[in-house]
């Protein structure tokens, strides 16, 4: 049995007067704290940890906010996979490949990518999201519930989705013009290596 000390990242999100999210990071190289409620200047925040570490080569960052209409927790997994494998990985752990439904959630995801060490390098990819047009004649949708992108928040980069060479059917973050936005990309390797980190989500 492998004995090792794991570094756990605890990320707490709470609403501010601006409507965006603030972040508290705590590191614990011993044991994770139990879930508990705290207050921060009168604001109740939820301390959360994901404890099921199946292997030691995964890095998890947990984001949570419970004051928004759609309370979700995100986890970024740094092991790189294609989109299909990322979907399967999240599902096997009773989660879904992440959706981003608002600018608040978009900023949360960007903070998590920054905290996980995903570099902000022009024309490089970030995490896979749970968006696809694989089973639709009407554009992109979220695979968690089938909600069409046309009825939801979007953050496409300029000129996207463009379905390059007719093979781009899945969504991931893309860093361009000094900003993280969305790009349609090959779901698995056809022309290019597409393996990327990814974000899972589950609702509280």
Q: Give the DSSP per-residue string, 18-37.
A: TSSEEEEEEEESS-PPPPEE
- Tell me whether residue 2 is in a domain: no
Question: Counting Cβ atoms within 10 Å, is residue 178 exposed (0-12), middle (13-18) or buried (19+)?
Answer: exposed
Three-class SS state of 44 = strand
- List Cβ<8 Å contacts ≥24 apart for 32-39: 32/8
| CATH code assigned at 109 | 3.10.100.10
- Tell me whether residue 67 is in a domain: yes
- Tell me whether residue 1 is in a domain: no
- Tell me whether residue 158 is in a domain: yes
**Could you give the number of structural domains in the chain?**
1
54: domain range?
Answer: 8-203
pLDDT digits (tens, 9 = 90+) for 73-120: 899 999 999 999 999 999 999 999 999 999 989 999 999 999 999 999
Three-class SS state of 57 = coil
Whole-prediction pTM: 0.70
Residue 17 has pLDDT above 60, yes or no: no
Three-class SS state of 52 = coil
- Tell me whether residue 3 is in a domain: no
- Tell me whether residue 31 is in a domain: yes
pLDDT digits (tens, 9 = 90+) for 143-178: 999 999 999 999 999 999 999 888 999 999 999 999
């Amino acid at each position: 049995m492998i004995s090792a000390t794991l570094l756990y990242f605890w990320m707490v999100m709470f609403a501010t007067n601006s409507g965006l999210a603030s972040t508290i990071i705590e590191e614990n190289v011993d044991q994770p704290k139990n879930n508990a409620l705290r207050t921060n200047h009168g604001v109740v925040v939820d301390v959360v940890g994901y404890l099921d570490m199946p292997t030691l080569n995964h890095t998890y960052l947990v984001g949570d906010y419970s004051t928004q209409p759609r309370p979700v927790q995100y986890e970024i997994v740094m092991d790189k996979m294609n989109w299909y494998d990322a979907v399967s990985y999240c599902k096997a752990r009773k989660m879904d490949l992440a959706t981003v439904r608002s600018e608040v959630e978009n900023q949360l995801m960007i903070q998590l990518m920054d905290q996980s060490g995903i570099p902000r390098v022009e024309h490089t990819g970030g995490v896979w999201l749970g968006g696809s047009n694989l089973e639709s004649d009407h554009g992109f949708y979220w695979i968690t519930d089938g909600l069409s992108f046309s009825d939801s928040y979007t953050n496409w980069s300029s000129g996207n989705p463009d379905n390059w060479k007719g093979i781009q059917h899945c969504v991931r973050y893309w860093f361009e013009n000094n900003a993280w936005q969305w790009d349609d990309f090959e779901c698995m390797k056809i022309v290019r290596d597409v393996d990327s980190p990814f974000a899972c989500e589950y609702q509280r």
